Chains A and B, each alone.
Chain A
């Protein structure tokens, strides 16, 4: 009997662990996107090259380096225009993980209950 209960618990734990790990991985979607529109028109001061005091100015320079071109302010680096985190393409990544995990947990719990009941019924 005890063995049955233990095996049932093991079963449940296995299912829960297996389902939660990927779900956590999915949720971590640190979105690099700034909330869009009307951002600061770069209040970034000049590169402080003249000032004697070396006050650590947040790096500034590259964004301003090509002033007065057709693109007035050239951004730094490459744009981050893609957030993967979950399933790109299907549109239901985290939902899928949750559903899968939930179904697994339910299945495990049901299986464990059946085992326990049967064991009790047979007196094993």
Chain B
């Protein structure tokens, strides 16, 4: 091998290495270690609070994981699935408008992305970091706020999505926060992370 050839090979190797480093960030991030199996729902009753009247949520705050986001309204997609917030740089949470509003008796459902493709982290990126008792506040359109306490965090396979636990009737005001998690598959995730919370107080 002549010195020139050697140089050429060295340059090629360096170039390939550079290109490889730049092009593979996707593989680097393994999905968040999906919160170890929290006990399944049956949220232990937090301190009971009086239910609120119907008022659409406009903002969501989860101090424990630094979430402070506007809340948009979501409906159903044409395929019957729940809509999700648009994939944008400024990711927001969305309230499923066929569910009760936060503070009403029943499961209010709020969804957010864990990641938003090339934009990076989604608004619910750290949802798995929530622990029982953590505070979740939904500010409502009428100026009041519904405060919830986390009762359980579950990571479930999408194939076994617990629709009854999430959307089923309950006898008090509750909240469901939903995002994705677990192993990646193609451009999505195999699991859902669901946070269950119960109303603890309400006020302006």
Contact = CB atoms under 8 A, between A and B. Distances in A.
Interface of A: 4, 7-8, 10-11, 14-15, 18-19, 21-23, 25-26, 28-42, 44, 58-60, 62-63, 66, 69-101, 103-105, 107-108, 111-112, 115, 118-119, 124
Nearest to B186: A84
B122 A29 contact: no
A100 B21 contact: yes
B11 A70 contact: no
Contact of B105 (A35, A70, A75, A108): A70
Given A84-B188, A97-B25, A111-B15, A29 B100 contact: no
Contacts, number: 284
7 contacts: A14-B15, A31-B117, A36-B72, A37-B72, A41-B98, A62-B80, A107-B18
Given A36-B94, A96-B25, A104-B16, A84 B11 contact: no
Given A22-B20, A90-B29, A80 B81 contact: yes
- The secondary structure that dominates the B interface is mixed
B131 interface: no
Given A79-B111, A100-B21, A111-B11, A26 B83 contact: no
